[in-house]
Amino acid sequence: MSRQSLTKAHAKITELSWEPTFATPATRFGTDYTFEKAPKKDPLKQIMRSYFPMEEEKDNRVYGAMDGAIRGNMFRQVQQRWLEWQKLFLSIIPFPEISAARAMPMAIDAVPNPEIHNGLAVQMIDEVRHSTIQMNLKKLYMNNYIDPAGFDMTEKAFANNYAGTIGRQFGEGFITGDAITAANIYLTVVAETAFTNTLFVAMPDEAAANGDYLLPTVFHSVQSDESRHISNGYSILLMALADERNRPLLERDLRYAWWNNHCVVDAAIGTFIEYGTKDRRKDRESYAEMWRRWIYDDYYRSYLLPLEKYGLTIPHDLVEEAWKRIVDKGYVHEVARFFATGWPVNYWRIDAMTDKDFEWFEAKYPGWYSKYGKWWENYNRLAYPGRNKPIAFEDVGYQYPHRCWTCMVPALIREDMVTEKVDDQWRTYCSETCYWTDAVAFRSEYDGRPTPNMGRLTGFREWETLHHGKDLADIVQDLGYVRDDGKTLIGQPHLDLDDPKKMWTLDDVRGNTFNSPNVLLNEMSDADREAHVAAYKANGTKVA
């Protein structure tokens, strides 16, 4: 279809909307934003007549590549170190995708612009595509990869795992609370415009380097839909900017959304890329270098900064702080170490790091070895059962961390941890911004104005609370992270499948009591708590 006829066709389909006079559509999901003065911004033009065949063609290429991968025995060359992390990633990502579909009517309800409604409805179908195409990729992995354990229980594991919950806010954040905060700023303006670059472009590149060319095939196809979504989000953002009353809310939401996306996505994708790869060429980009390119240059400098011309204060300080956490404060390395510490309650296996890995990390992140090297040597030393407990229960100079009440990644940059009594409970936060998110942003009043539509932080936010005081073996069994012999754990701190004696069983982890740091914190006297927090924060992570 020519550009001219597309424009004409698009103009025609805008005639389908009308101003209702008998009744107006129900407002199921409210917003504190106002669009009374908003000019109608036109999003990227898309009509169903061209949309369906275009997506069908994209699908054909994806499924053709899948057939080719099977015929070409792709799994002969896939690195297990890489594919194990996909058990976590692919258990999480279909939910945010389908949540994005569910978020679209929230934006439609909130924004009085029929031209955008069409684009949002098309995005809804895209997201159904993304969710189901990713579930299918995972099924292919389960069917063809050497170790299907973990893939086979994927959605159950996602729903009961500590890391799954971290990822789940990436979906729940799209569908809950203020419609514009959730479905526009958090989902589209930040998650899709900024972080899909690392999720769907940078990470698949790394997959290819590890012998897996199906992840890039599927996720680049997914990413090719994102430009339309970014256009939807930008149109709504410009409409919101037209009303001065929205400015404080936009600034609040950009701070929350930016920081939460950083905490969650950089934790996960940074770990997958840095610790899931076997590609240790020195000129391969590190996650920090990728972040600089994809997030700092492409998003912050090219997308966020120009918004200043509309008078919007953008969160420069938080962009800089995120960068600092990745480069100076070891954020990704801390997260990887935390995941590896928790291996018995994982549904994926985590490979040990070798001298080659150490060398690469030291080259990319000077000072890495002195901070993390010894711990990974211990991880390697304690990899097999029989003579030792799982590393979390051995004295290797690592204190199991407090969890951030807001982003649910633990407070791993320990000197930055904030401890406050909020809603009658002592809570810990990974950062001042996460504390602000809970105590200030997600409240019914903000900066002296009522914000009744803003969401709330709910649920059993500290995963460890659910398992406080239980034996590790019972926890693993309750979670269902046991292989089909009824005793061998799915999670293992190594990749050796050839010798049953190297595989940890329930009996090997029994006798270790697991406690919730938050429950213990709340049981402490004021003096004990202060001393505990001071000691925790003193065990800082700054690389010398």
Partner 1 sequence: MAETKHRSFPRIEFTDSEAGALEFPSSKSRTYNYYQPAKLRATMYEDVTVDVQPDPDRHLTQGWIYGFGDGPGGYPKEWTAAKSSNWHAFLDPNEEWDQTIYRNNSAVVRQVDLCLQNAKRARAYDGWNSAWLKFIERNLGAWMHAENGLGLHVFTAVQRSGPTNMINTAVAVNAAHKMRFAQDLALFNLDLSEADVQFDGSAHKEVWKDAPEWQPTREVVERLTAVGDWCELLFATNVVFEQLVGSLFRSELVMQIAARNGDYITPTIVGTGEHDYDRDLSYTRNLFRLLTRDEEYGETNKVLFGEWMATWVPRCLAAAQALQPIWSQPADKAVTFAASFDAAKQKFRSLLEELGLDIPKELDQ
Q: How many other β-carbons are positioned within 10 Å of the β-carbon of residue 397?
A: 9
The answer to the question of residue 22 lying near partner 1 (CB under 8 A) is yes
Per CB under 8 A, contacts with partner 1 among 335-394 are none
- Binding segment for partner 1 among 69-77, 229-237, 375-383, 508-516 (CB under 8 A)? 69-77
445: three-class secondary structure by DSSP: strand
Q: Is 323 left (phi over 0), alpha (psi -120 to 50) or beta?
A: alpha
Q: Out of 361, 461, 533, 541, which residue is the one contacting partner 1 (CB under 8 A)?
A: 461
Per CB under 8 A, contacts with partner 1 among 429-448 are 444
Nearest distance in Å: CB 151, partner 1: 8
Beta-carbon contacts of residue 182 (< 8 Å; ≥ 6 apart)? 103, 106, 173, 174, 175, 176, 455
Per CB under 8 A, contacts with partner 1 among 112-171 are 117-118, 120-122, 124-125, 128-129, 131-133, 135-136, 139, 142-149, 152-160, 165, 168-169
Nearest distance in Å: CB 410, partner 1: 15
Q: Which is nearer to partner 1, 163 or 254 (CB)?
A: 163
H helix runs in 282-371, sequence order: 287-291, 316-327, 331-341, 355-364, 368
The answer to the question of residue 517 lying near partner 1 (CB under 8 A) is no
- Binding segment for partner 1 among 20-28, 189-197, 321-329, 417-425 (CB under 8 A)? 20-28
How many angstroms separate the Cα of 129 from the Cα of each of 134, 147, 152?
8, 27, 21
Q: Which is nearer to partner 1, 198 or 406 (CB)?
A: 406
The answer to the question of residue 9 lying near partner 1 (CB under 8 A) is yes
Residue-wise DSSP of 76-139: GS--HHHHHHHHHHHHHTHHHHHHHHHHHHHHHHH---HHHHHHHHHHHHHHHHHHHHHHHHHH
CB 441 within 8 A of CB 435: no
Q: Which is nearer to partner 1, 36 or 56 (CB)?
A: 56
470, exposed or middle or buried, with CB in 10 Å at 0-12, 13-18, 19+? middle
How many angstroms separate the Cα of 397 from the Cα of each of 385, 392, 494?
20, 10, 21
The answer to the question of residue 55 lying near partner 1 (CB under 8 A) is yes
Nearest distance in Å: CB 463, partner 1: 6
Map residues 181-220 to x or -, x wherever contact with partner 1 holds by CB under 8 A. Answer: ---------------------------xxxx---------
Q: Which is nearer to partner 1, 247 or 280 (CB)?
A: 280
* Total number of residues that touch partner 1 (CB under 8 A): 121
Per CB under 8 A, contacts with partner 1 among 276-315 are 278-279, 281, 283-284
Full 3-state SS string of 394-418: CCCCCCCCCECCCCCCECCCHHHCE
Q: Which is nearer to partner 1, 135 or 543 (CB)?
A: 135
Q: Which is nearer to partner 1, 143 or 302 (CB)?
A: 143
Q: Which helix (H) or strand (E) holds 172?
A: helix 162-175
Q: Which is nearer to partner 1, 457 or 533 (CB)?
A: 457
| Chain centroid, CA 142 distance in Å | 22
Residue 370: how many CA atoms within 13 Å on its side-chain side? 7
Per CB under 8 A, contacts with partner 1 among 497-516 are 497-498, 500, 503
For the chain, how big is the Rg over CA atoms in Å?
A: 24
What is the token pair recorded at 411? Answer: 């407070």
Q: Which is nearer to partner 1, 125 or 543 (CB)?
A: 125
What is the token pair recorded at 248? Answer: 């404080």
Q: Out of 4, 26, 309, 469, which residue is the one contacting partner 1 (CB under 8 A)?
A: 26
Q: Which is nearer to partner 1, 330 or 342 (CB)?
A: 342
Per CB under 8 A, contacts with partner 1 among 467-486 are 483-485
Per CB under 8 A, contacts with partner 1 among 219-248 are none
Q: Which is nearer to partner 1, 151 or 393 (CB)?
A: 151
Nearest distance in Å: CB 347, partner 1: 11
What's the CA gap between 371 and 330, in Å, rounded?
9
Per CB under 8 A, contacts with partner 1 among 81-100 are 83, 94-95, 98
